[in-house]
Structure 1
Amino acid sequence: MYFLNVLFDRPRIFVLLLVFIFLSGIFSLNTVSRQENPELAERWASIQTIYPGASPLRMETQVLEPLEAKLREIYELGEIISFAQQGFSTTVMEIKDEVSPGPSIEQVWSQVQDKLDQSSFLLPPGIKPQLLKSSGPPTTLLYALSWNGAGDVPLILLSRVAEDLRQTLAFIGGSDRSFVFGGADEEVLVEIDNSKLSALGLSFQEISQVLSSLDSNKPIGQISQGGQELLIKSKENLTSLDQVFNLPIKVMNEFEIIRLGDIATISKSPRDPPEELTLYNGKPAVLIEIRGAFNQRVDLYVDSISSAVETFKSELPAEISIDKVYDESYYFKEKFNNLYSSIIFATLIVIAISYFLLGFKPALIVGSVIPLTIFLVLLGCKLLGLPLHQTSMTGIIIALGLLIDNAIIVVEDYKYRRRLGHDSKEAAFKSVHHLWIPLAAATATTALAFFPIAVGSGPSSEFVGGMAKTVILSITSSLFLAIFVVPILLYYMENIKFFDKEKYSGTGYSNEKLAKRYKELLTWSYAVPRRAIMIALALPLVGFLMFPFLKADFFPELDRNMFKVFIELPQNSNVRTTEKRVKQIRESIAQSEVAEDDFWFIGRRLPRILYNVIGGDSGLGSNNLAQGVYFATTYKEMMASLPALARRLNAENPDLKIIVDKFSSGPPVDAAVELSIDGPDMAILKILGKKLELILRQAPDVFLTKSELSLSSKSLEFNFDESALMLNSVPGEYFSNELAIASQGLEIGTMLDGNKELPIKIRGMSDNFIESTQFLSMPSKDGFDYPSSYGAFEVTNQANFISRDAGKRQNAVQAWIWPGLLPSDTENFIAEKIEKFKAELPPGYLLKVGGEAEARGKSQSNIFSSAILFFVLIIIALVGALNSFKQAGLILSVAIWCTGLAFMGLTIGQANFGFIGLVGAIGLIGLSINDSIVVLSHIKESNANSPINKEDLVDVVMRSTRHVITTSATTIGGFLPLLLSSVFFQPLAWAMAGGIIGSAIIALFYIPACYAISKKL
């Protein structure tokens, strides 16, 4: 205790210590990074491969199998799920949870890219897989550029303005990524009249070769002369549509030149139909997304972006408007204001309870410990690089009731020593000497209980890890203050005459009648110790009995006034058709008056608008999809309206798949309920998937199911007459290339338009393509011929989807439930039927559980796997502090009983048992044994001086009761803001606050009774 002696003897050092804590806390508060949500490691990514014209089976054999074989060489990759569709494939990967965030994650993605490069020789020529990461910072700001002028929306103009704005914002410090959505893909489109082309005796491939040769945008070389080097290049010959129009394509009759404009319509326009569209409040718009980097103050970053946007906006004409669609800092500020208010509210409650139960001087000391602890926590956050976000701030709120426990215990013990006649300095030293081991043990057990959450693997632990870290920082800081600051404050307050006044020297609330009855209860209980044990265990047993009736969820709701609408049209729908249906659905939603603003992504899924939104990195193959985001007036009104809105939209649009739901919290989950069947035969998988769909549809909460292998699409197939091709010496590949150019086109060069390079694409007339193919010119013995001589088109409707998991074919069946309902209810409803279905599976077929159930089980197993090590450390800490295996076992039994108390707390609060509830139960285990350790240490101290009897045992417990009740009351008071205002952390607060009541009873009844039995009192 040398340092404590120094602080007693040299008050200036003590003052400097307090000043250091204060200044370091203020400095850390102003410099530590702030963001709304914690950073999740970049564990998800996808590989997209385009192979035009390839069937799903060809994609599987020629692309997916070689790719997966290379990817499986990377040990760190966990899930590898692939999807093959007509002309493209997607492989979704997830890094194993045990891979720690940071450089290790980046090394894995580097290995993935290396494997992609190595696999290039295994794939068909020209096929280049692209790696797309699905993680990183979420959207910080989203702006919409709209047209307010007369006439049609000039999408090209808006797109170029949006690109200029994107580049401006991308170079602002702190920007991570920036994107433009809904912009025009400009091109110079050359639509060739097939009949005129045939009349010239040319094919599409021949004219494409001619036009490619006329594009002079190529370097020639360089010369060195006279000490100089000069670049030789051809002059740009394509800078306007007129130049493209006048390109010569054929010479007839030696002097007549046929130009491109003679046989084609040439235009500069957006690609139509487009790949994607975006709407803002129902109007066409171009959206600019800005993602700020992690580890910065998001509020300051948004201010700098907003300032740049205002400057940019001032230079635009009145017809172009820029609106802020989404601002993360709005929710950040709202959440942090609530958290700040909660901290102040909880602090006042804790001080008020301390004043009521302990008196003015202890309450003043407690009130000083709270800000000092918070300052030390902020310093710890700064040193650890831990940002302030909703989970780390919540950890501080949780700790508000805990961090003063040590101070209260020291104050009460100090008062007890003073009543024994010790002077103030001696009383302080004796209190510290007696308490530092049990307090350190109690702090260590609480910290170790939160350590599995702080260092756990996987996205769930990463999300709530900040909370555990700030709790650990709080309780360790409070231990330091209780040992080295509180005794000094008590000593100096004794020497200040101001506190000698009667109104300031009170010891807190007391009631002799109540104390007498309480003492009689203790005497009656300890007379037969089993009575005390039964009293203490009544509430935990009730909790264990109620556990089967708790509803299970994954993560609690995200209390944000945003909801999403997802629609899916039939497979062959293009973006324009999807846009039409979106506008109809918007009108229907507007009638409900539930939302104020909205934006839509048509032809793609949502980008990373929130930290757990994935899958929107590319719009490939999503022309029939659309997803909208709506902003409601309030969260409560939104939650009350969503179920009725979802039912109405589905009833009005039976031909569409419509999912209306709130945004969720926690790691990403695609569907509420998901089951997948692995097996070799596609036909059998499809049949089994239909049976599984029928089972899921029987659940009352399910309104939509989807079997992956049931997807099909229409296509045009050309049935070749091989004999005719052979007789006329026409290669089949040549004919296929003609059809490809005529239908989807071919880029043959570029045109410089201002500062933008536009592709020049040739294709056939888009209208009535099937009929116009009869005029495609084909080489033949007689000059040229027509396609009808070599075959005919057929319209087919075939399955266009293959899914693979870990190298095996699978059929995933998903089910969605109505908003506001829990997937666990559906899981329980179908459990028996699923087991029967599983038993009837053919040999070689396997049923696996996915969806929320899989994510919930995976997250909980990660917590338990890391908890075992820290449980052993808790045992070591208890044995070291108590110097007894028997007493350590007694304290550990308290932890077991307090698990039941957590279940009771969840039952009282009608909260669901999910990952956050589990975190609360684990936290309660460490928290609940603190009072038990202190009570046991008081009993041991009393017994060490002289053997005690049951009357002495009652006196010791009476002495401990005030601080046990005070610490329990202040802890519950610290949780009140979370109980009243937090949707996300309510399960944790109920589990811990409800359990605290029972833990106090256990400390006062169970511990003394067990001690009496062990010592045979």
Structure 2
Amino acid sequence: MKLPRLAINNFQFTLVVILLLISLGVVSIMTMPRSEDPQFDFPAAMVRVVYPGTNPLDMEKLVLDPLEEAINELDDIKELKGEVEDGMAVVRVEFLFGSDPDEKYDDVVSEVTRIREQLPAGIQVLSVQKMSPADVNILQVALMSETASYQELKERAESLEKKLERVVGVKRADVEAYPQQQIHIRADLLKMQAIQIGLEDLLNAIKASSVNLPGGHTLAGERRFTVRTSGDYRDLNQIRRTAVTSRNGQVIYVEDIATVSQGDALPSYQARHNGKRSVFISVVQRKGSNILAVLDQLDAAIEKFKESLPAGMSVDYVHDQGISVAKRLNNFMNSLLMGLLVVAAITLLTLGFRAAAVIVIVIPMSVVIALGWVDVAGFGLQQMSIVGLVIALGLLVDNAIVVTENVGRFLREGHDRRVAAIKGASQVGWAVVSGTLTTMLAFLPMLLLQTGAGTFIRSMPVTVVLTLLASLIIALSLSPLMASRIFSHNPVQPRALSFIDRLSDGPYTKALKVALNRPILVLLVSIGLFISSLSLLPMVGVSMFPKAEKPLVLINIDAPESSSFERTSQLTLQVEEIVKKYPVVSSVTANIGKGNPRIFYNEIPKRQVPSYAQLVVQLNSDIEQDRTELVTSLREKFDYFPGAIVTVKELLQGPPYEAPVVIRVLSDDLDKLKVWAATVAQQMTNIDGLVSIDNPLARKKIDLKVNIHREKAAMLGVPINAIDQAIRASLVGIEAGQFRGEDGDDYPILVKALGQKNPQVDDFQKMMVKSSSGALVALPHLTSIEMEDALARIQHHRTDRMSRVTADVAPGFQAEAVTNELIEVLDQQGWPEDVSYQIGGEQEKRKESFGGMGQVVLVALMGIFAVLVLQFKSFSQPAIIFAAIPFAMTGSILALLLTGHTFSFTALVGLTSLVGIVVNNSIILVDYANQLRHAGHDLTSSITESAKTRLLPIILTTLTTVGGLLPLTLGGSSMWAPMGWSIIGGLLVSTLLTLFVVPVLYLLFTRRVPVTRHG
């Protein structure tokens, strides 16, 4: 290989190039974006529709079905889910990975716009949102007051919102948890009855007067004038003085039959923080920005805002992602630095000060250069990219060790420094290149993983690949150059190196000769070990992603579906009081009527109904045991909570799914759907380890059904739609127009009956409807009211009706095991032809992600094999090198079993990484054996001498890789410890067996004629 010679002969040019790359890397590190989790777009969208006062069956027919039919016509749909509750419908659509997120979002918007006219006119909210993991609130603050009105809180919150949106790096800020302001026109039904005015007369008068229709323009000679007409309402008095009708020459105005005021809408979402009434301001970070820098500016803006607050109003932090980001980045950087120190110590003890100096200098250079390339590739500094650095730390030093150790060997043989550097680097050059390529090929296919988990981890393989590339360039250029300048002519051999030499010449050589004399026995024992380890896999168990390491717990409160908003608020207060008594709890934030604003990348607020509430419980301890004990205690306390179903939820890592265990029961027959969903829920209660079981169809709901006597209505000349309109106007009101206030905001004008703030059952007795003759007819003469059972919620999966029965998994149990146990039970139930079930939750996502990783491993193996064939000009020798891979799996299984970790997705990532890592030792062993045979040695002496000579770099590279990973692995992270143990165990076992199995296979399957070495 010519690169080491060129680098040494042109050392000034080499230094300039390396320093330039390092300088660019330093600049990138200072400016590259920082965040907690990877920021990427996701090809998914959510359509949300709010249509107050509409029952689930009507919402399904009028809203959900048209929306799903339209969206389902789009291409590349992976998943389509719909859900309706009282007055609300949500459709979530996820497209195949690889689809353009912006293009698919535009497609959804176009379809929704296309069918908008088919949807009911009274819809209050129709929104289409991107479901991007990057749209997480990095900051949530509560503006609190027990005395100020919601209008005052809203105005102050919007003032802070504008200040925060001016901060560089902020995408948007949102104000939530306050009631909408409305103009209320409350009709006095008794007065209207006395003068024979119907609600429709009032509605028509307001609608006609609130329309702002431009008059156009006119010409006067050569001048052109815009004509302004009466326009919309400018103040409340104009509404009051709106003429409704005329009686006996007297004009009846709105103020004669109704009261007009501005006030809060019916409560649909309210919040408390630590027991105080609150309005939330939440902030979303702009992609590509530095979260820590953004939060510093946000903190400064909030501190300045506090100074202007009146007495009785205060601001407190609900959620600050910067705390966890700083801690996580610091932990990862500490792991990186500790790994660097471990690697430095190992090389110092084994190779001596000068060689260790070369290797230790190479490591930060490679990292800095690689981070510059990571920034250019569009990836920021977050947990995945830093984990990639930690993984690469033990790998990037391998190249430097192999080169430096070989240079040192030539020096010990008597060559001068320059010749030793050139010959030592050139001799192992192609082995280092192919070893690096094989390792890179183990990570490169991960970039093709078209799943949510694949997208989430993408920056990790990118970082590893770029770091390895940087280390390869430096190992073949700067390392021999530094060795030629730093190494002495007569290096002193460290004691550790002498020990390894004695080990190589003594016990190892003897053991190797025994193995070479009994090759079949060695192979049988090795194969037996591998097969035995596979039998241990069920004991290890499998899982998807562990729980998130956050001092945060969510508590969902589901009151009976017929509960009023006030009742839900009371129940929530009771739960708050219980939770606050725990010493580990630092704050409790209550959201009544809706889920908390999004503060975790895979936790999306799903429900907005009066009977639902959610608590965000922040803990003052980061210790996982403390969180687990709190969750277990709360679940026991709330297991039989009177008046509501209370579920305690921990945040989960990885792609979003509803719960660890999900069974989708599908049938178009609602009665059968209820029965079989209840059957599934009952079977879940019999499975040990399943907790917080939820069956949406089990929630009882009672509706008031209005039966219209159509014959009577026809006889009296009352249209059916007039009856429906009168009922809606009397209960929740009908929007009759818009009013623009002095602040420039538009407020809906709502016409409804005069009465209590919340509609009451007695209101039905006062309702009147106008007949075609103009006479008012009492509604009770045309209708009757009866109680009936109704569905609380209807769910769809790919447009089919469904009930999603969910359960969480208790500590100490595995989702895979309890799900499989449940499946065995369900398969014995004898399902009808028109009812079926599907498995969702963790198992569905795991099969999808593990299946993708299986393809990744296959692609990696094919790529590595191709590289080895090109290098060795042989098919048998790559097969020999591949013998290390099964033993890597053996080591991984044993390590996970001994440390108590399951075979999770991150452990599978570690195993996939091993495919490229473990073959490196075999490559340098086989490559040197080929060189010796090319020099004339016989087959047995070549493989024996190669194994003895390469024992030192093999041991060193293994120890440094393990040492680099140990700080991260021993850090106790439930996310990354399985990956670390998987790599460490696989590498140790495969290295040990490789030192014997590869020589045996080389002896058995290598041709007896001398080989021609490539390169």
For residues 73 and 736 of structure 1, do their structure 2 counterparts lie closer, same or farther at Cα, with a shift above 3 Å needed? closer
Aligned to 2:613: 626
Are the structure 2 counterparts of residues 286 and 513 from structure 1 closer, same or farther at C-alpha, using a change threshold of 3 Å? closer
How much has 1:907 moved relative to structure 2? Answer: 1.3
Which residue in 1 is equivalent to 2:689?
701
Q: How far apart are 1:27 and its partner, in Å?
A: 0.9
- The CA distance in 2 between the partners of 1:545 and 1:108, in whole Å, is 45
Task: Select 1:133's aligned residue among 127, 130, 134.
Answer: 130
Query: What secondary structure, in the 3-state scheme, does the structure 2 residue paired with 1:592 have?
Result: coil
1:856 equivalent in alignment to 2:809: no
CA apart distance, 1:903: 1.4
Letter in 1 for 2:846: R
Correspondence for 1:973: 963
Q: Which residue of 1 aligns with 2:910?
A: 920
User: Aligned partners of 2:68, 2:680: CA distance in 1, in Å?
Assistant: 28
- Farther off after superposition, 459-468 or 709-718: 709-718
**Residue 543 of structure 2 aligns to a residue in which SS?**
coil
Instruction: Return the offset for 1:539.
Output: 5.7
Q: Deviations over 1:783-803 (max 9, x none)?
A: 333112212222222224333
Q: Secondary structure at the match of 1:485?
A: helix
From 139, 151, 154, the counterpart of 1:159: 154
Contact 1:50–1:87 (CA under 8 A) maintained in structure 2 = yes
Correspondence 1:73-84 to 2 at 5 A: 73-84=73-84
Whether 1:193 and 2:182 are equivalent positions in the alignment is no
Shift in Å at residue 138 of structure 1?
0.9
Structure 2, unpaired ranges of 5+: 1009-1015
Q: Does 1:375 align with 2:371?
A: no
Secondary structure at the counterpart of residue 202 of structure 1: coil
Whole-Å Cα distance in 2 between the matches of residues 783 and 842 of structure 1?
Answer: 55
Query: Could you tell me which of 143, 146, 158 is aligned with 1:145?
Result: 143
Gap runs ≥5 in structure 1: none
1:881 corresponds in structure 2 to 871
Aligned to 1:119: 115
Which stretch shifts more, 768-777 or 631-640? 768-777
Shift of 1:484: 1.2
> For 1:429, which of 422, 426, 443 is the aligned residue?
422
Q: How does 1:823-862 map to 2 (within 5 A)?
A: 823-837=815-829, 840-862=830-852
Corresponding residue SS for 2:638: helix
Matching of residue 483 in structure 1 with residue 471 in structure 2 = no
Asked if the contact 1:675/1:814 (under 8 Å) is kept, the reply is yes
CA distance in 2 between partners of 1:532 and 1:228 (Å): 104
Contact 1:536 1:998 in 2 (8 A): no
Decide which moves more: 771-780 or 698-707. Answer: 771-780
Bigger shift: 2-11 or 356-365?
2-11
How many Å separate the matches in 2 of 1:161 and 1:188? 21
Work out the CA distance in 2 between the residues paired with 1:156 and 1:784.
38
Per the TM alignment, residue 40 of structure 1 is displaced from its structure 2 partner at its CA by 3.7
Q: Per-residue CA shift, 1:259-291, capped at 9, x if unaligned? A: 44444344322123x110111112111001110
| Letter of the structure 2 residue corresponding to residue 762 of structure 1 | V
In the TM superposition, residue 586 of structure 1 has moved relative to its aligned partner by 0.7
The alignment status of 1:718 with 2:713, answered yes or no, reads: no
Could you say which residue in structure 2 is the equivalent of 1:12?
A: 12
**Aligned equivalents of 2:290, 2:755: Cα separation in 1:** 52
Other-structure match for 2:261:
267
Q: Specify whether residues 669 and 809 from structure 1 end up closer, same or farther in structure 2 by C-alpha distance, changes over 3 A only.
A: same
- 1:56-135 correspondence to structure 2 within 5 Å: 56-61=56-61, 63-97=63-97, 99-100=98-99, 104-120=100-116, 130-135=127-132
1:381 deviation in Å?
0.8
| Structure 2 Cα separation of the partners of residues 532 and 965 of structure 1 | 21
1:245-264 alignment runs, 5 A limit:
245-255=240-250, 258-264=252-258
In 2: Cα distance, 1:504 partner to 1:521 partner:
25
CA contact (8 A) 1:141 1:328 kept: yes
Deviations 1:339-384 (A, max 9, x none): 1211111100000011112221221111011011101211211221
Secondary structure of the structure 1 residue equivalent to 2:982: helix
Identify the residue that residue 360 of structure 1 maps to in structure 2. 353
Secondary structure in structure 2 of the residue aligned to 1:573: coil
- Give deviations 1:894-940, integer Å, cap 9, x for gaps: 21331222212211221111211111111111111111111111222
Aligned counterparts of 1:219 and 1:949: Cα–Cα separation in 2: 97
Amino acid at match of 2:518: V
Of 508, 514, 539, which residue of structure 2 is paired with 1:518? 508
Deviation at 1:818, TM superposition (A): 3.1
1:868 Cα deviation from its structure 2 partner: 2.9
**Preserved contact between residue 592 and residue 645 of structure 1 (Cα < 8 Å):** no
Contact 2:911 2:982 in 1 (8 A): yes
Superposed displacement of residue 57, structure 1: 4.5
- What's the CA shift for 1:828? 3.3
Q: TM-score, normalised by structure 2?
A: 0.93
What percentage of residue pairs aligned between the two structures are identical? 23
Aligned to 1:46: 46
Deviation by residue 1:928-965 (Cα, 9 ceiling, x = unmatched): 11111111112222222223365664443222111111
Structure 1 residues 503-512 or 582-591, which shifts more?
503-512
Does residue 388 of structure 1 match 2:388? no
The 1:171/1:308 distance shift into structure 2, 3 A limit, reads same
SS in 1 for 2:882: helix
User: Measured at CA, do residues 333 and 486 of structure 1 come closer, stay the same or move farther in structure 2, by a change above 3 Å?
Assistant: same
Q: Please state how far the C-alpha of 1:514 moved relative to its aligned partner.
A: 8.8
| Distance in 2 of aligned mates of 1:170 and 1:228 | 44
Residue 392 of structure 2: which of 367, 389, 399 is its match?
A: 399
CA contact (8 A) 1:712 1:801 kept: no
Contact persistence 1:535–1:1005 (CA under 8 A): no
Q: Secondary structure at the match of 1:315?
A: coil
Structure 2 residue aligned with 1:936: 926
**Conserved 8 A contact 2:635-2:647:** no
- Please, which moves more after superposition, 81-90 or 24-33? 81-90
Q: Which moved more, 1:158-167 or 1:44-53?
A: 44-53
Cα pair 2:681 2:693 within 8 Å, conserved: yes
Distance of 1:813 and 1:991 partners within structure 2 = 34
Give the deviation of 1:300 after TM superposition: 1.4
Cα 1:753–1:86 change in 2 (3 A) is closer
For residues 677-826 of structure 1, what are the structure 2 equivalents within 5 Å? 677-755=665-743, 756-767=745-756, 769-780=760-771, 783-818=775-810, 821-826=813-818
Superposed displacement of residue 654, structure 1: 4.5
- CA separation of 1:532 and 1:1001: change in aligned 2, threshold 3 A: farther
Q: Distance in 2 between matches of 1:575 and 1:783?
A: 37
**AA of the residue aligned to 1:132:** Q
Q: Distance in 1 between matches of 2:941 and 2:5?
A: 37
> Aligned equivalents of 2:122 and 2:439: distance in 1?
59
RMSD value, Cα: 2.8
The alpha-carbon deviation at position 666 of structure 1 amounts to 0.7
Say which is worse superposed, 538-547 or 622-631, in terms of deviation: 538-547
Residues 145, 287 of structure 1: 8 Å contact kept: yes
Q: Distance in 1 between matches of 2:769 and 2:665?
A: 48
SS in 2 for 1:374: helix
The 3-state SS of whatever aligns with 1:94 is strand
1:115 and 1:107 map into 2 onto residues whose CA distance is 13
Q: Distance in 2 between matches of 1:153 and 1:818?
A: 43
Distance 1:597 1:447, change over 3 A: same
Q: CA deviation at 1:115?
A: 2.4
Match of 1:335 in 2: 328
Q: How big is each residue's C-alpha offset from its partner over 1:630-673, in whole Å with a ceiling of 9 and x where there is no partner?
A: 11111225324234333233235144222212211111111121
Q: 1:537 to 1:367 in 2, by over 3 A?
A: farther
Q: Given that residues 453 and 461 in structure 1 are in contact (C-alpha distance below 8 angstroms), is that contact kept between their aligned partners in structure 2?
A: yes
Aligned partner letter, 1:1014: F
* 1:345 and 2:338 are equivalent in the alignment: yes
Q: 1:289 aligns with which of 278, 282, 293?
A: 282
Q: What amino acid maps onto 2:131 in structure 1?
A: S
TM-score, L = length of structure 1: 0.93
CA apart distance, 1:242 = 5.0
Which residue is 2:305 aligned to?
A: 312
C-alpha separation in 1, matches of 2:276 and 2:55: 37
Describe the SS at the equivalent of 1:848: strand
